Chain A
Amino acid sequence: MIDWYASNTTLIQNCMIAILLALSVQVVMRIGVLSLAGIGFYGLSEYLTANLVIRDVVPAEVAILASLVVCGIGAFVLSLFLGRVRGLYLAMVTLAFVLILNVVAINGGKWTGGANGLFGVPFAVTTAHIVVVCLIGILVVWATERGAIGRACEALRTDELLATSMGIEVRKYHRANLVLSGLLGGAAGGLNVLNLGAVGPFDAGFGLAVTTLTMVIVGGRRSWLGAVIGAVLITWLPTVLSFLEGEMRNIASGALVIVMATLVPDGLLGLLTSQIRRLRAAVRRPSGRSTTKEVDDDTQLVSADR
Chain B
Amino acid sequence: MTPSSSAQTDERVLYGSDHAVPGEPILTATDIKVHFGGVRALDGVSLSLEPGELLGIVGPNGSGKSTLLGALSRLTRITDGSLELDGQRYDRIRPAAVARMGLSRTFQTVRLLPRFSVLENVMLGADQPSLRGARSTSTWRSRGSEKHATDAAMEALERIHLADIRQANPADLPYGVQRKVEIARALVRQPSVLLYDEPIAGMSRSERDEIADLMVELAEQGLSQILVEHDIGMVVRICRRLIVLDLGKKIADGPSTDVITMPEVRDAYLGGTTHASA
Contact = CB atoms under 8 A, between A and B. Distances in A.
A165 to B, nearest CB: 6
B66 A305 contact: yes
Contacts of A235: none
Given A151-B123, A167-B189, A290 B66 contact: no
Interface string B191-217: 000000100000000000000000000
Contacts of B164: none
A158 B171 contact: no
Interface stretch (B70-78, B218-226, B255-263, B267-275): B70-78
B144 A148 contact: yes
Which has the most chain B C-beta neighbours within 10 Å: A158, A161, A166? A166
A291 B181 CA distance: 14
Nearest to A169: B96
Nearest to B105: A165
Contacts of B70: 305-306
B99 interface: yes
A166 B114 contact: no
A164 B174 contact: no
B9 interface: no
> Dominant SS at the A interface?
loop
Given A151-B123, A166-B99, A168-B128, A304 B172 contact: no
A162 interface: yes
Interface in B113-145: 113-116, 120, 123-125, 127-128, 144
Which has the most chain B C-beta neighbours within 10 Å: A148, A167, A306? A167
A292 B114 CA distance: 7
Contacts of B175: 291
A98 interface: no
B173 interface: yes
A46 interface: no
Contact of A154 (B76, B99, B100, B115): B115
Nearest to B127: A148
Interface string B171-185: 111110010000001
Given A165-B73, A289-B174, A151 B120 contact: yes
B56 interface: no
8 contacts: A154-B115, A168-B128, A289-B174, A291-B173, A295-B114, A304-B108, A305-B108, A306-B70
Interface of A: 147-148, 151-152, 154-155, 158-159, 161-162, 164-170, 281, 288-292, 294-295, 302, 304-306
